[in-house]
Amino acid sequence: MKKIRVLFCCLGNICRSPTAHGIFEHFVEQHDLTAQIEIDSAGTGDWHIGKAPDPRSAAAALARGYALDHLRARQVAPADFDRFDYVLAMDRQNLADLEAMRPVSFAGELDLFLRYDPEAELEEVPDPYYGGEQGFQHVLDLIERASAGLLNHLVERHQLRLKS
């Protein structure tokens, strides 16, 4: 079976998208689906290329059991649309920037990540960068739920077999 490739995108690739990357990776590992699903993250901006996740994001995630320290920021590129099947944006500005980059040949899903949480009250994952600790907790809450929804969606849509 062809691997399903998922790319999470935000602005800096140091707060929201690495958080989604680490949490979704954890879920995929828990369900023994690493051979079927590949995960990456990237930012639309270039300021933080090569940097580790923001220490506030990393600490908040680790406190819930998700390690982010293996991740490094990179910028999204048009070639990502050749590689990934799902390109998932954290907010509408990210989505607009990705839409502008999307080649006409892209046949995958480009959408807001929170669309995968059927009960989400928000459409966007708010940028926590200039705010306080509560913003990072909110990001984790939103991303945990959307990650569970995304995994359910992929399992059903691609008929993946879960470990019994």
Does the footprint of ligand 4NP cover residue 149 (CB under 6 A)?
no
Residue 56 Cβ vs ligand 4NP, minimum distance, rounded to whole Å: 10
Q: Which of 4, 7, 14, 110 is in the footprint of ligand 4NP by CB under 6 A?
A: 14
Residue nearest to ligand 4NP (CB): 12
Residue 57 Cβ vs ligand 4NP, minimum distance, rounded to whole Å: 8
- Exactly one of 9, 10, 40, 117 is catalytic; which is it? 10
Contact 95, 110 (CB under 8 A): yes
Q: Which of 25, 85, 127, 144 is in the footprint of ligand 4NP by CB under 6 A?
A: 127
Q: Which of 51, 129, 137, 145 is in the footprint of ligand 4NP by CB under 6 A?
A: 129
Contact 143, 136 (CB under 8 A): no
Residue 67 CB coordination number (10 Å): 12
Contact 146, 114 (CB under 8 A): yes
Q: Which position has the token pair 């009960």? A: 119
**Active-site annotation, residues:** 10, 16, 127
